Structure 1
Amino acid sequence: MDVDPIPLTPSSSTHFPSCPLPKIDENNTFDSKRPKERVIELLDVLESHVEKLRKEASQLEEDRDQLLSSIDSVRNTDIIGELAENDRDDVNRYADRILSRCLTVEVKILTQRDPLQEEALHQVNHLINGLIMCVKSDADYAKAKCLSYMNACSSHVEEGITDKNFESALLGCTVDDQKRVKKRLQGLLNYFDKLNNVTMIP
């Protein structure tokens, strides 16, 4: 059985190691700038740090989802079913332990939304969750549906059709949510590919 290694992207190795956070030097009497200008400049620098932190947290969230997807693909491979009962139990316990450890990691990035954007995101998540529910019963249909959702996220349609209901709901979401949804769908498509590869291996 071959499982593709996950290209985990290390998050900038550390949080701002070579660029310390700015401080206000209230004793600096030689700065010709007005106090407000000095404060605004410092806030601009801090804002860039905040955005970098959000980006790194988003990458960690994506890495976690990819790990969960890979663990799930291994747990569902046909090869496990061919093992002797004792070996199968050992493998399943090992996989469950890794899964449990991965689930102890929680990354939460809050996005400000108005009520309409909250409802739009709820609709999008409902559609994606419905897709996930039918993976085991009809993987081919689920993959085709996932592609139609993915096409709704892009102006360039790669394959198949675009799901207009999903597209309408997605357009009501915030830009951050749209990016996150696209990454989630890409992760699902990668999962389908891994699932197919693992199933096809003799």
Structure 2
Amino acid sequence: MDQDGGSEFSSQSLHSPIPIIYENVGRSGVPKDDILILLDDMENKVENLRKRAFEIEEGRDTMFSVLHAFRHSRLLETLPDVDREEIDRYVERIYNRCSTIDVCVKTVRDKPQIEALYKINGIIDRLITEIQQDPTGSKKKCMSFMNSCTSYSEVGMEDRNFEQALLGCTVDDQKRVRRRLQGLMTYIEKLSMPF
């Protein structure tokens, strides 16, 4: 048993090439229970790793959004060409560096979840094609989709079909959809700003 009374699957084993599993755990006196304790601890560690990977992925996507917004900022228009080119190279270097971050957390889905995600993506893709023709209507529709993603929404501002499809998705996919809609809303709001 380890010194601090915690799990036998230590953080040290996460960093060593061969994890250390103590054969003589003896916590409960029942081998199966001891193994289940180890496996529960490992499962918690995997979930923490997934959570951190999602946070890294979200941070990278936020950086891409900020860099994109910065590239199209009116502030750059006020600079002389030489300065603007220098800043553009700097932004490009950061963008390329950020592109080297590749995080992959796979989401396991059953057939109904795959179909629900396909439906959600189709709805959002149609919204994207409507943005240029009707920014105001697209903004309202995007807001109704966002309200469908949360329990704290204005009454009557949800899209029930979208909400029903979203509820068929995995929790991870629901979070990704919410982030995608937030990014889309930011884009729509920037489009509707007067020049």
When the two structures are superposed, what TM-score results if normalisation uses the length of structure 1? Answer: 0.73
Structure 2: any 5+ residue segments left out of the alignment? Answer: 1-9, 14-18
- Report the RMSD for the aligned CA atoms in angstroms: 3.1
Number of aligned pairs?
181
Q: Is the 8 A contact 1:23 1:42 kept in 2?
A: no
Contact 1:65 1:187 in 2 (8 A): no
Please name the residue that 1:25 is paired with: 22
Query: Mean Cα displacement is larger for which, 30-39 or 172-181?
Result: 30-39
The structure having more radius of gyration, on CA atoms, is 2
> Which has the higher relative contact order, 1 or 2, with Cα contacts under 8 A spaced 6 or more apart?
1
Stretches of structure 1 lacking an aligned partner (at least 5 in a row) = 1-17
CA distance 1:141–1:77, shift in 2 (3 Å): farther
Counting only pairs closer than 5 Å after superposition, residues 19-168 of structure 1 correspond to structure 2 as 19-21=11-13, 23-26=20-23, 28=24, 33-132=29-128, 139-158=135-154, 161-168=157-164
- In 2: Cα distance, 1:45 partner to 1:29 partner: 14
- Aligned-pair identity in percent equals 44
Instruction: Note the C-alpha offset of 1:99.
Output: 1.7
1:30 positional shift: 6.0
Which amino acid in the other structure matches residue 175 of structure 1?
V
Of stretches 147-156 and 163-172 in structure 1, the one that deviates more from structure 2 is 163-172
Deviation sequence 1:132-182 (CA, Å, 0-9, x none): 455566554443332111111112214872223322221211122112322
Offset, 1:191: 5.5
**Partner SS for 1:62:** helix
